[in-house]
Amino acid sequence: MSLTEKAVMTKKATREAFGDEIVKLGKENKNIYVVDIDIGKSCKTGEFIKQLPNQHVNVGIAEQNGAGLAAGLATTGKIPFVSTYAVFGSLRMAEQIRQEVCYPNLNVKIACSHGGLTPGNDGGSHQAIEDMGVLRTFPNMTVIMGSDYYSTRKLIEQAANTYGPMYLRFTRDAVPVIYNENEEFIIGKAKKLKHGKDIAIIANGDTVYLALEAAKQLEEQGISVTLLDMHTIKPLDREAVVECLDIGNIVTVEDHNILNGLGSAVCEVAAEEGRGRVKRIGVQDQFGESAPYEKLMEINGITIENIVQTAKEML
């Protein structure tokens, strides 16, 4: 696994990865369609609209209609990507995703920007903090969030070439670039960034960089760390979690409510295995507010300092 040396200097929003990758995929496969909910500028589908207008549909501000249209396209062999904000793509569309996409197991991808606290100043109404948790409870649904620009592009490519309903979550704000462009990813298989014996950290999405920096600080203090990028929270890489349970202590980190997200998924495995301890770092079961993204992360303890402190307290 090769990490870029420019992580501190280079930042890109993962919604940019969607905008770039979907154009590439659409040119390669004419069955790929984008179903827009009238916010293509924010969701970065503008270039797709320009270059591939015959593979694009804008349903207007009508998320539920968009889900139904995508389901219809999927029945004809198309591969639709429904593009909207995460708070709408998960909650307003939930019934249609359940009944019209997951129940018949159709090949629809829900591709959503503005995940977690990254909408920042847009306020709590636009910050999707429960989206992955809601959708991971739907049978047949796969739930994915890449940690940076390059991992997100690779996972979108995998999603386009893998059958089934999928939820892809992107950041509004720019996040550090961690990986090199040639890094490979497999849906449902965690990426191990560090291998250690004292404590395990399992992170997802925009928190992976924070966990990586925390792991470096812990190692400087003589604490050996296993670090996983759990980009797919459903299906969860159970084998990787069990290996972390062998270490004994696990810290999970996510930009999502600590209820029913990555932390809960890891806790479920720990409970079923009957061993190990898990501490969850994430949104503390509270709505966000209008504030800069970094400030909201700090309010919820989703920081390098808190990861380091929590890990040391567990030891």
Residues identified as active-site: 63
State the Cα–Cα distance between residues 78 and 71, nearest whole angstrom.
9
- Whether the ω angle into residue 235 lies within 30 degrees of 0, i.e. cis, is yes
Contacts of 125 (CB under 8 A, 6+ apart): 87
First to last CA, the chain: 27
- Edge-to-edge order in the sheet of strand 249-257: 191-194, 225-229, 199-203, 249-257, 277-283
State the Cα–Cα distance between residues 194 and 212, nearest whole angstrom.
9
What Cα–Cα distance (Å) separates residue 168 from each residue in 5, 68, 113, 231?
Answer: 26, 18, 9, 10
Whose structure tokens read 């301890």? 277
Count of beta carbons in the 10 Å neighbourhood of residue 230: 25
